Amino acid sequence: MKKAAICFTSYGKEVINKLNKACMEHGIRPAEEYISAGLDIPLSDWSREMFEKGHALIFVGAAGIAVRAIAGCVKDKLTDPPVIVIDDMGRYVIPLLSGHAGGANKLAVTIAELIGAEAVITTSTDVHGVFSTDVFAKENHLNIRNRNGIGKVSAKAIEGKPVTISIKDYPPKEPVDVIVADETDLEYSLLLSPRKYTIGIGTRRDIDPAKAEGYILGILGDNNIVTDDIYAVCTIDIKQDEPAIRDFCDKYRLPLITFEASVLKRAEGDFASSDFVRQTVGVDNVCERAAMLGAGPGSRKVLPKQAGEGIALAIYERMV
């Protein structure tokens, strides 16, 4: 996920420089740096632009500035990007928004370790050190089907009561707190569904990210698939930094899985073949092969190779 850091004083700029230097030393993508005085649009408009791109926002300055800047952007705890505040002396790192689903808590801890600061975490499940349903869902690539159940299960965990979880193949004999299944007639507080699909993508170089996004979403819509159903985006390793792919994954919080050409060649199946693609990247097909490998054993092809807007795209369904 891209990080956009903005500061308001010379001290804040030093904090961003320190963070980015530490990121590069540890092989972490540094933050894009902005200085409020240099913005040619209001801070609230800048914040909205970063929100819409799905970037993690890092405000180096007062928490009140950050709150006012993002006030008109906040929509949904499960889709809003993470927002972090760091004081301009670099002593405290505070996740303001999307601590769990957006990963702000984890990002705050990472930033604090990089710059020698203290992460200030306020979410109840973290403070009490108990089970968090939205973290569990995020880490296991599960789609939260009824968000009202999050609070119910979290409250039970915070009160020190046992939280019960059932997997679809092992139906419980009594109501449980969390069920992992596509659909169920059983009683539960929270239903989590496995993300079923992988998207395989091959692209020309430097295609327009906005057009690429529109094309991908159009194909998904035509096949009655939403981004919450996507397990991962898959491609060849030499395309892992392609802006159109990275931007799409960042915006919709999708993992990117990449494969070397030699691995893609060994994939077994019925794939479209292109001499041009072979000569360009070393394997005759990227999208179908990558989608199949990302989906794993027993997967099935939902959509064969489609091409448009400089993109070749295929969809596979995982066996879950």
- DSSP per-residue string spanning 76-102: -TTTSPPEEEE-TTS-EEEEEE-SSSS
Pair (185, 280) in one structural domain: no
* CA-only gyration radius of the chain, Å: 21
The pLDDT, as a whole number, for residue 206 is: 87
Question: Residue 225: its pLDDT value, please?
Answer: 96
Model confidence at 168: pLDDT above 80: no
Residue closest to 272 by CA, chosen among 214, 212, 314, 224: 314
Between strands 176-180 and 256-259, the pairing is unpaired
- What confidence category does residue 272 fall into, taking pLDDT thresholds of 50, 70 and 90? very high
136 and 242 inside one domain:
no
What is the per-residue pLDDT for 129?
93
Kindly state whether residues 213 and 240 are assigned to the same domain.
yes
pLDDT above 90: percentage of residues in the chain: 79
Mean pLDDT computed over 206-212: 92
224 plus 156 within the same structural domain: no
Q: Quote the tokens at residue 120.
A: 């200030």
Identify the pLDDT of residue 174. Answer: 77
Under the banding of pLDDT at 50, 70 and 90, the label for residue 196 is very high
Pick the residue with more confidence: 32 or 301?
301
Indicate whether 173 pLDDT > 90: no
Residue 115: what pLDDT? 97
Identify the H or E element spanning 68.
helix 63-70
User: DSSP assignment, residue 147?
Assistant: T
Reply yes or no on whether the pLDDT at 65 is more than 90.
Answer: yes
Tell me: do 10 and 73 sit in the same domain. yes
Residues 201 and 282 in one domain: yes
In single-letter form, the type of residue at position 60 comes to V
Residue 179 · residue 190 · CB < 8 Å: yes
What is the model's pLDDT at position 33? 84
Tokens 């939902």 -> residue: 302
Mean pLDDT of the chain: 93
**Mean pLDDT of all residues in 144-165:** 91
Looking up residue 71, the CATH number of its domain turns out to be 3.40.50.11220
Where in the sequence is the domain holding 205, given as residue range(s)? 197-317
Cα dist from 82 to 42, 124, 167, whole Å: 20, 17, 30
Q: Which of 231, 202, 227 is nearest to 295 (CA)?
A: 231
Q: How confident is the model at residue 169 (pLDDT cuts 50, 70, 90)?
A: low
Cα(70)–Cα(53) distance, integer angstroms: 14
159 shares a domain with 85: no
Contacts with 197 (C-beta within 8 Å, 6 or more apart), sequence order? 225, 229, 230, 231, 295, 302, 315, 316, 317, 318
- Among 57-61, 173-177, 226-230, 283-287, the least confident range: 173-177
Which of 88, 122, 156 marks a domain boundary? 122
Percent of the chain with pLDDT over 70: 99
The pLDDT of residue 183 is 83
Tell me the torsion sign for CA atoms 96, 114, 142, 191. negative
Give the CATH number, domain containing residue 136: 3.40.1390.40
50 in the same domain as 37 = yes
**pLDDT at residue 271 is higher than 80:** yes
CATH of the domain at 291: 3.30.420.180
Give mean pLDDT, residues 99-113: 95
pLDDT band at 284 (very low <50, low <70, confident <90, very high): very high
Q: Which of 104, 122, 140 is a domain's end point?
A: 122
Residue 239 DSSP one-character state: G
Q: Are 82 and 104 in contact (CB under 8 A)?
A: yes
Task: Tell me how many degrees the CA angle 115-121-122 measures, rounded to the nearest 5.
Answer: 155
- Torsions phi, psi for 257 (to 5 deg): -110, 130
- Mark 43-60 as b/e (b = at least 16 C-beta within 10 Å): beebbbebbeebbbbbbb
Find the mean pLDDT for residues 71-79: 91
Whether 259 and 313 map to the same domain: the answer is yes
Residues 174 and 207 in one domain: no
Q: How far apart are CA 226 and CA 81, in angstroms?
A: 18
Q: Do residue 117 and residue 134 come from a single domain?
A: no
Number of domains within the chain:
3
161, 107: one domain:
no
| Last residue in a domain, options 122, 137, 161 | 122
**What's the CA gap between 215 and 21, in Å, rounded?**
37
